Amino acid sequence: MAAAVDLEDAFGAVFGEAKAEGHPTARPILFRAHARSAAAIRVVATDCHSLAWDCSLSVSDLDDLRDDVGIGGSWADFLDYLKSSLSSGEVKLLFAADQLRKSTGSDGAKLVATKAKGLPRITISLHTVTGAGTSDVIAEFSLALYGAYRTTQELASKEQEHKSQLMGSLLTEREKNEIMQKQLEALSFLDKRKATKPKLLADQVSSVSAVTLGSDQVTAPVRQQISVPSPSKAPPAKATKRVAPTSRRARVRGALLQDNEDEDDN
């Protein structure tokens, strides 16, 4: 099952700093663990000046390391645990106590990584690189570190560009939303205005009707009082000219006629 996993795809590369313990070096120790092929992982540690340690782990070596650590699960789970431990920031480079009495870098060292407190530790034995090989290891490490920096920078640049595009899209959508909001507010204002006009007209008609009705109610009693006089205050009756009886009028008329005839005879 281990041979079926491509280490270059499953593991990749890890950079970090290892805290040196039991060694008088004043420079920080940096390390790199990377898949040098589909079937091997190389681990290098150096102070980037004059010291270097390395080792190469084959598939069988990784199987032994897996048994020593006691990590169950699949092969991919073990590789993930190994990478997480080396990336945790809790990595140390341990030296034997007798190395303090010997020349610097005369013996090997152990790279110890812990994923988290209480979990199994990863221990990898490193061999000291001597002679011209030290410069080669340091040069290779420096170029790889620069390549990783460039890759990280490119990824950060792409992420920043993507972020800028998202911000531009967000601003565009925000402007569209503001325009739509203004249009909706304008339509809402027009609808309210249209709905208010009939109401105002209805209120005006109701007011006019109320005024007219009130005038009728006030005028009607007045007219009634004027046209129908009160019995208690009836106006005095007009004096009428009395007419003489018919018999009397005849006598008076006859007398007048008789007098006129007497005057003619005379």
Stretch (H or E) spanning 92: strand 91-94
Residues of the chain with pLDDT under 50: 1, 3, 100-101, 103-105, 211, 213, 215-216, 218-228, 232, 250, 252-266
Q: What is the CATH number of the domain that holds 42?
A: 2.170.210.10
Residue 110 domain-assigned? Answer: yes
DSSP secondary structure of 47-61: -SSS-EEEEEEEHHH
Please tell me the number of Cα atoms within 13 Å of 158 on its side-chain side.
Answer: 6
* Number of domains comprising the chain: 1
Report how far residue 158's alpha carbon sits from residue 163's, in angstroms, rounded to the nearest whole number.
8
- Report which residue type is found at 214: G
CB 48 within 8 A of CB 27: yes
Residue 256 domain-assigned? Answer: no
Closest Cα partner for 4 from 83, 70, 59? 59
Residue 181 domain-assigned? Answer: no
Residues in the chain, overall count: 266
Residue 119 domain-assigned? Answer: yes
The predicted structure's pLDDT at residue 37: 87
CB 38 within 8 A of CB 109: no
Residue 169 domain-assigned? Answer: no
pTM of this prediction? Answer: 0.60
Residue 248 domain-assigned? Answer: no
| Domain range enclosing 67 | 7-130
